[in-house]
A and B are shown apart, each in its own frame.
Chain A
Amino acid sequence: MSLILNRRSLVLGAAATLVGCDRLAKNETVRETLFSAANFHKWAQRSLMARDALAREFRPDQISPFFRPNGTANPNTPEYKALWRRDFADWRLDVAGLVARPLSLSLAQIRTLPHREQITRHDCVEGWSAIGKWRGVPLKRILDAAGLRDGARYIVFHCADDMGGGGGYYESVDLVDAFHPQTILAFALNDRPLRVANGAPLRLRVERQLGYKQAKYLMKIEAVASLHGIAGGKGGYWEDRAGYDWYAGI
């Protein structure tokens, strides 16, 4: 007795299994289970690491020859172009929401705050990595200056990028990552002011998470109690649009 398998039946078998899996993934319970795996990974990672465990920092000779910009290369909205033309002199970072003292900071003011410099690896959800040297202000300094009010649980980052009219790019982190020593608002990459393609004038670096968390073209930081009610409610542009995990440490 022998079974005859040829390529055709293998392909058909694989295709049938895949269609089965895709159909399974439409079931609400299966979908919820698949989407909740990130909660397990977040719990496991946070249990294994110290709250302030640092992402690896590299030597200057390990920096990528060219740091690949990804996503939007230029927001190109009239508002952004107006800011860019005046070298971001009129740009302000608003710090709002559940804070005791709302702030409105100019780029010059931000540059005078104490900096942190870090050579870190940027890991895109797609699989590629680039190493770059960032300079910026620890987010903790700004949050401390504004004073978080009781009930604030997440920090939301609103961007100038309207994704070609598809709703503004935004991202969010919880307070563990917001107060992490390597979480900075960066204004320089590889010793030069941030280029438009890399997020000028200011972008987020949250080094223990994937690239889509690193919001570019920052306009406003908002402390909130809950992510519900902001855009699609899932805490970020790609989380809302494509179903990416909000916790991107995986």
Chain B
Amino acid sequence: MDRLSSQAGSAEPKLVLRHRWPTRLWHWLNALLLYTLFASGLGIFNAHPRLYWGQYGANFDRPWLELGRFGRWLTLPAHYDLAMSRHWHLTAAPIFAFALLLYMLWSLFGGHLGRDLAFRRGELAPRHIWQDIRDHARLRFPTGEAALRYNVLQKGSYIGVIFVLLPLVILTGLTMAPGMNAAWPWLVDLFGGRQSARSIHFIAAFTLVAFFLVHMLMVLLAGPLNEIRSMISGRYRLPEVRR
């Protein structure tokens, strides 16, 4: 997050470059791919809407979760077609995985991680985190220069999504492939067996949906036009300092 202009004290609202192009590109690519992966994933899940723990699990074994089929308005395609759902899923998945890998490398070596995401001294103090939670709850969003930096809850969510949740959903997804299990048997062992991995894949996908919903809510509350513009052109109007 860089400053574009720094004339202070003028009546003009201050425009800053908030998101660099790799972030913006990756963000919208993800919006497209995650939607495709989630909707086609529900279509695949509908073929066997039961989840198990362990190495095996089929109709005569005990599931920990049994659902009906997800509605047509949610799945891709909009009718039951396992083959097509798989084609969509398997096309989007490698693009999604390699884009994440590139973004992680760029974040690590391009400075995004150290500059914007890494926790600063004192940020992880319980008092600070508690203050941040209270500010969020009262919808007191940072203004002025403070709005240029991610707060501790944002940092935590973004680090958690980029470095834990997304890799988890990709790696558990890989273990669904019998060929990958022969290539990398340690990976499916890591998750405690294929049916456990399938369950974790499902849980991770729905955790991403939860992130998406909170993300949408925050964008709406923080001023959707300004927020969306900053993710398209990168420009962000700095909220005026509260007096």
Contacts and interface: CB of A to CB of B under 8 A. Distances in A.
A215 B214 CA distance: 47
A23 to B, nearest CB: 10
A41 B94 contact: yes
11 contacts: A21-B36, A38-B90, A49-B182, A55-B181, A127-B198, A128-B57, A128-B59, A129-B58, A242-B83, A244-B82, A250-B86
B59 A68 contact: yes
Interface of A: 1-3, 5, 11, 14-15, 17-19, 21-22, 25, 33-35, 37-38, 40-42, 44-46, 48-49, 53-56, 58, 62, 64-66, 68, 121, 123-131, 207-210, 238, 242-245, 248-250
A45 B35 contact: no
B182 A129 contact: no
B26 interface: no
A49 B185 CA distance: 10
A124 B182 contact: no
A22 B58 CA distance: 30
A18 B39 contact: yes
A182 B59 CA distance: 26
Contacts of B234: none
Given A128-B57, A129-B56, A130-B58, A25 B178 contact: no
B60 interface: yes
B180 A21 contact: no
A41 B90 CA distance: 8
A204 B167 CA distance: 35
Interface of B: 35-36, 39, 44-45, 47-48, 50, 55-61, 72-78, 81-84, 86-88, 90-91, 94, 176-185, 188, 194-195, 198, 216, 220, 223-225
B47 A208 contact: no
Contacts of A127: 44-45, 47-48, 176, 198
B194 A129 contact: yes
A126 B179 contact: no
A42 B39 CA distance: 24
B226 to A, nearest CB: 9
B56 A64 contact: yes
B59 A249 contact: no
Given A45-B177, A129-B195, A131-B56, A25 B84 contact: yes
In this complex, which of A54, A56, A62, A245 has the most chain B Cβ atoms within 10 angstroms of its Cβ? A56
Given A18-B39, A125-B82, A64 B61 contact: yes
Given A40-B94, A129-B55, A243-B83, A22 B194 contact: no
Contact of B55 (A42, A45, A54, A131): A131
Contacts of B39: 14, 18, 21
B77 A48 contact: no
B236 to A, nearest CB: 15
Nearest to A244: B83
